[in-house]
Amino acid sequence: MPLVEKAFYPFYPFTSGTKAADHVLTYRSAAHRTTPQDTVLSRAAESSWGLLELPARHTLDDDPEVAEALAATAARFLERGALVNGESLAESRIAIGAARTVQADAVRARLAARARLAARGLTAVTVETANRIQGRKFDVTLVWHPLSGRQDASAFHLETGRLCVLLSRHRFACVVVARAPAGPASAQQSGLPGRPTEVSGRMAGASGGDGTLGAQRTQGPLLNFTWSP
């Protein structure tokens, strides 16, 4: 995993035991319209990574829009009939990771609400904190960025080991969901190691801010992400 190696182990290079060709993500159905989720799903299939970016805003830890975006993206993988090496992606092989318990609880609530409305289960999706998900592996993971929506960045939120765990639980794809940086916390974010991301598209759809969502293809560590209004 070159991204994880460069971001977290620059002085301890290692070689991954598998190559990109060993983990192929495809979809049974094509997207009939362009949505932020479909754009990031396409990027995840191409590169194994994706960043779904919401408008910049300071929020509480249990940001309902980030929770909903994570639930919607997990549901979209299943709606599109995601295939991992040609086999159907099972709900139990999807995980959503967060830094705080309150965030995991918020995502579970959104998944449960979707399950009730759609009369179909999303209950098999694993939702846990980084501490509880450590050591486990899944085909697809979604990550709540630890600095998303924060006005400050404490040692807890800047702890790279926690983020390393969140970014290394997947076999086929990892999608990070985050608000664009704003205020003092963004200055701390920009000082963290990593290369900027390459913006691949921005689409209307999120409430608040200027009402836009962005889907990005990552080229470097996701500690450092960009926003342009």
Q: Tens digit of pLDDT for each residue in 56-112?
A: 999 999 999 999 999 999 999 999 999 999 999 999 999 999 999 999 999 999 999
Segment 175-197 shows an average pLDDT of 59
* Domains defined for the chain, CATH in brackets: 2-217 (3.40.50.300)
Residue 140 is encoded by which pair of tokens? 């697809």
Residue 21's pLDDT is what? 64
List CB contacts of 153: < 8 A, sequence separation 6 or more: 147, 184, 185, 188, 189
Higher-confidence residue of 220 and 153: namely 153
The most confident of 91-105, 144-158, 193-207, by mean pLDDT: 91-105
Percent of the chain with pLDDT over 70: 69
Which pLDDT does position 8 carry in this prediction?
A: 59
What pLDDT score does 7 carry?
60
* pLDDT number for residue 195: 30
Average pLDDT over residues 37-51: 95
- pLDDT at residue 161, rounded to an integer: 84
Sign of CA dihedral 7, 206, 105, 128: negative
Structure tokens given for 211 = 């009402």
Is-contact 181 225, C-beta < 8 A?
A: yes
Average pLDDT over residues 139-147: 96
Please give the residue that has the higher pLDDT: either 101 or 216. 101
pLDDT for the residue 19: 59
- How high is the pLDDT of residue 156? 81
Q: How confident is the model at residue 215 (pLDDT cuts 50, 70, 90)?
A: very low
Strands 170-179 and 138-144: parallel
* pLDDT-derived band at 136, boundaries 50, 70, 90: very high
pLDDT at 120: 63
CA 203 to chain centre: 17
- Reported as a pLDDT band with limits 50, 70 and 90, residue 203 is very low
Q: Which ranges of 9-80 would DSSP assign to H, the alpha helix? A: 36-47, 64-79
